[in-house]
Amino acid sequence: MQNAEQILRARYQLLGEELQGRGLSIDTVKSRLKAQEIETPSWGYGNSGTRFGVFKQPGAARDVHERLADAAQVHRLTGVCRKVALHIPWDKVSDYDALKEETAELGVEIGAINPNVFQEACYELGSFGHRDPAVRQRAQEHLYECIEIMEQTGSMLLSLWFADGSNYPGQVNITRRKTWFEDHLKKTHDALPDGARMLVEYKLFEPGFYHTDVADWGMALHFAQSAGPRAEVLVDLGHHAQGVNIEHIVAFLIAVGKLGGFHFNNRKYADDDLTTGSVNLYEVFLIYHEILNAEAAGSRPNIAYMIDQSHIMKPKVEAMIQSVLNIQTAYARALLVDRRALTGAQAQDDTVGCEEILRAAYDTDVRPLLAQVRLELGASLDPLADYRASGYFDKIATERQGVLEGAASWG
């Protein structure tokens, strides 16, 4: 009877031979996969909800320390999730040196800092787009505070999303708000720590249902361009209308040098929060394909690959692991596209042939390859099964009772 590792090795070897037949080296693909980085969000480990209410789960992390501990589990099992994004003030602490030490002990690192200028009552009618200069200034001060946190934690990424918008025609002066956004984003850009970047995220609606100040990638690109060279666009896969070709946006933003990062998730209407790849993994594959196309043409985009999900129906750590595995799968398959054959088929205007080349890569079973990658990274061969067997969930469900004093979160 063969054990799991022997079976894996045999399947991995077979895949290597198959890929060789397609002119691809499994070792090259494997080294790319070993270098993959996927950042997970602290807010994905705590309680969250819909706008109709917060739904509490057993074992949900109650403060930043528990959120980091859960993120460390995901990294331990998958091997590619060292960084954890923080949301301020949800993850605010008084001592960031101590927090950094804590992350080091857990084997993780602090990733992007996400300011929050949407939750306090004063932001009901906007932050940088607010009519009242005092509210705009308050939002600016919060962003400066987040930049300070970047300095203290060593984070090199400020990730910005604004809930600013309006609900009724005539409610606000849209053009003046655009100018205020330009001014404040520039001020923010100019205050960034040396070498750090900032990302501007867009969302077509919610909470503003009539207009949203940063509604789409064109507006985000404009604001990134007017803010300065260290401002780039963040593409959240959930924040688009149905039918929008996200991979086209990705290719375009890389071509103009302004794609800075992703928020991975999956949408079924026009917002985020479903497990990445649960509805449309082919889209994630096509996105990676465009990134690899750009690289093949000589681009070296600096992209932060981050998950942005807040699970309600699934246990949070399991959902995060699923997302990571799906993202790895999409990337692995994109690495298997026979680019030379594709260029040839494109030159012949062979539409069917082109699509078949993508499908051949997409239809490849990459599980043995990813298992081998995890084995070599010292992670788990089967992260979900190992997580379930680890008893971690029972432990946190028992331990995490009640509310922690001073802890802030989504809900």
Nearest CA-CA partner of 43 in 65, 59, 66, 67:
67
| 213 interacts with ligand PSV by CB under 6 A | no
The answer to whether the CB of 127 falls within 8 A of the CB of 139 is: yes
Residue in 201, 232, 247, 290 binding ligand PSV, rule: CB under 6 A: 201
| 267 interacts with ligand PSV by CB under 6 A | no
The answer to whether the CB of 209 falls within 8 A of the CB of 271 is: no
| 161 interacts with ligand PSV by CB under 6 A | yes
Q: Which does 91 bind (CB under 5 to 8 A by kind): Mn ion, ligand PSV, none?
A: none
x-or-dash pattern for Mn ion, window 248-267, by CB under 5 A?
Answer: ---------------x----
* Residue found under tokens 């960031």: 96
Structure tokens at 205: 């609606």
Cβ 46 to ligand PSV shortest distance, Å: 11
Considering only 11-19, 112-120, 235-243, 401-409, which stretch makes contact with Mn ion by CB under 5 A? 235-243
The answer to whether the CB of 135 falls within 8 A of the CB of 126 is: yes
Q: Which does 164 bind (CB under 5 to 8 A by kind): ligand PSV, Mn ion, none?
A: none
Distance CA 158, CA 231 (A): 9
Per CB under 6 A, contacts with ligand PSV among 36-75 are 43
Integer Rg of the chain from CA: 22
Question: Which residue, 159 or 364, is less far from ligand PSV as judged by CB?
Answer: 159
Residue 300: burial class (beta carbons within 10 Å; 0-12, 13-18, 19+): exposed
What are the CB-based long-range contacts (under 8 Å, 24+) for 115-119?
115/88, 115/142, 115/143, 115/145, 115/146, 115/158, 115/160, 116/87, 116/88, 116/89, 116/90, 116/142, 117/142, 117/143, 117/162, 117/163, 118/161, 118/162, 118/163, 118/207
Residue in 264, 308, 320, 334 binding Mn ion, rule: CB under 5 A: 308
Question: Which residue, 135 or 199, is less far from Mn ion as judged by CB?
Answer: 199
Residue in 78, 114, 275, 364 binding ligand PSV, rule: CB under 6 A: 114
| 263 interacts with ligand PSV by CB under 6 A | yes
Alpha helix segments (H runs only) across 86-236: 96-106, 133-153, 174-190, 217-227
Number of residues that bind Mn ion (CB under 5 A): 3
* Residue found under tokens 């054990």: 3
The answer to whether the CB of 219 falls within 8 A of the CB of 235 is: no
Cβ 154 to ligand PSV shortest distance, Å: 21
| 308 interacts with ligand PSV by CB under 6 A | yes
Q: Which does 189 bind (CB under 5 to 8 A by kind): ligand PSV, Mn ion, none?
A: none
Q: Which does 114 bind (CB under 5 to 8 A by kind): Mn ion, ligand PSV, none?
A: ligand PSV
| 92 interacts with ligand PSV by CB under 6 A | no
Question: Which residue, 15 or 146, is less far from ligand PSV as judged by CB?
Answer: 146
Question: Which residue, 91 or 247, is less far from ligand PSV as judged by CB?
Answer: 91
Distance CA 139, CA 83 (A): 26
Nearest CA-CA partner of 226 in 283, 178, 280:
178
| 30 interacts with Mn ion by CB under 5 A | no
Question: Which residue, 63 or 201, is less far from ligand PSV as judged by CB?
Answer: 201
Residue in 39, 70, 164, 272 binding ligand PSV, rule: CB under 6 A: 272
The answer to whether the CB of 135 falls within 8 A of the CB of 122 is: yes
Question: Which residue, 116 or 380, is less far from ligand PSV as judged by CB?
Answer: 116
Cβ 306 to Mn ion shortest distance, Å: 8
Identify the H or E element spanning 242.
Answer: none
Residues that bind ligand PSV (CB under 6 A): 43, 114, 161, 201, 203, 236, 263, 272, 308
Residues that bind Mn ion (CB under 5 A): 236, 263, 308
